[in-house]
Amino acid sequence: MAALENPPENPCFGCGPNHPRGLRLSFRREVAEDGKDEVRGEFTPRPDEIGWPTLFHHGLHFMALYEASYWAALTFGGKVWVSAGPISYTSDRLPRVGVTHSVAARIVDRSDRALHIRADSRVVSGKPCGFLETDWRPASRAVAERAGVPLPRYLLEEMDP
pLDDT in tens, 54-106: 999 999 999 999 999 999 999 999 888 999 888 999 988 889 999 999 999 99
- Three-state secondary structure readout of 5-31: CCCCCCCCCCCCCCCCCCCCCCCEEEE
Q: How much is the pTM? A: 0.91
Q: Say if 16 falls within a structural domain.
A: yes
Residue 56's domain spans which residues?
A: 2-156
Nearest-angstrom CA–CA distance, 149 and 116? 25
The answer to whether 118 touches 106, Cβ cutoff 8 Å, is yes
Q: Say if 106 falls within a structural domain.
A: yes
Nearest-angstrom CA–CA distance, 28 and 1? 6
Q: Say if 161 falls within a structural domain.
A: no
| Chain segment 120-154, per-residue pLDDT in tens | 999 888 899 999 999 999 988 888 888 888 887 87
Q: Say if 142 falls within a structural domain.
A: yes
Q: How far apart are the first and last CA of the chain?
A: 31
